[in-house]
Structure 1
Amino acid sequence: MASRGKSETGKLRQNMEEQLDRLMQQLQDLEECREDLDEEEYEETKKETLEQLGEFNDSLKKIMSGDMTLVDELSGMQLVWTINVLLLCIRSMDRDVMVGKLSRDVYTQQKMEILTALRKLGEKLTPEDETFLTENATATLSQFEKVTANQGSEDKIMALASSGVKTKS
């Protein structure tokens, strides 16, 4: 994990060095060709190049101060990608349950897991998705409470759970 971003950081460094070289070469070429340009064209080009150098310097300061790193940017892009994939998955599941390709129980379980993950990732859920989570969390908890109420004591629940584990071993 410690090497995460080393290659990308190396490429970023190389790109920034090349960009700085291009801007400096552009200024040098501008000075060499000054006599071939009219004054307005020279001033305009010089101003644009100096603005680009200023922007380059600002970016460099951000990177050096730790405000921006390539790994942070890549992580942010990965998070956005993950959220979009999860949202597409939900829409696909919505369609599959409507046409009967997915059972309602599997749909509910998977959608609950995905919506919970989206919420943990900081995604704002639609009111419909919030309602789905609330209703199904309540139904799942209610079902669990019914099962445990019928079992009796905690000892019986533990015995039942451990017998399930033993038979699967």
Structure 2
Amino acid sequence: MENQRLINNVHEQLDRLSRQLREIENEKEEMDEEDYLEMKTDTIEQLKNLSLTLERIQSGDMTVFDQVSTTRLAIRAAVSQAFKTPEIIMLFVKKEPPILRQKLEHVESEHRLKRIEEGIYKERKYEILLALQKLGDALRPEEDQFLKDHSSFLPSDFELVDGL
């Protein structure tokens, strides 16, 4: 029971920080550049601190190891900006491949209807496919190829995330 409460608290904190990061990004145009950078840096720092807390928890309690590892991976992905969309981070943490698939279909539909630019489409598609791959969801051959062809979207510090 105590482990579940701890996991719930960590997820709530991650939800809060993800919402905060999303709000900062959504309000970027209305904000002073200095305020934007300060708020974003502060939020990322809080994510890093949450990750450190999880590392300490993980070293002492193996019963929550898998859930803690998944959450740490998501936090590090957010910090390294492998996943730029807070919503994708949350679906990744909550292990929601079906919802990620729906997001992918939506992005592809938006692209076909010319509602989003090519660059944004490719970036979002890559992010969703990467999350699906990391969750162990079977990718179609063309999806695997898309990830290979667009690996430049992957941040240079992603090894830190992948090396858990």
Say whether the fold is shared (TM-score over 0.5). no
Which of 1 and 2 has higher RCO (CA within 8 Å, sep 6+)?
2
Computing the radius of gyration from Cα coordinates, the structure with the larger value is 1
Smaller-chain TM-score bracket: 0.3 to 0.5
Q: TM-score, normalised by structure 2?
A: 0.37
Higher helix residue share: 1
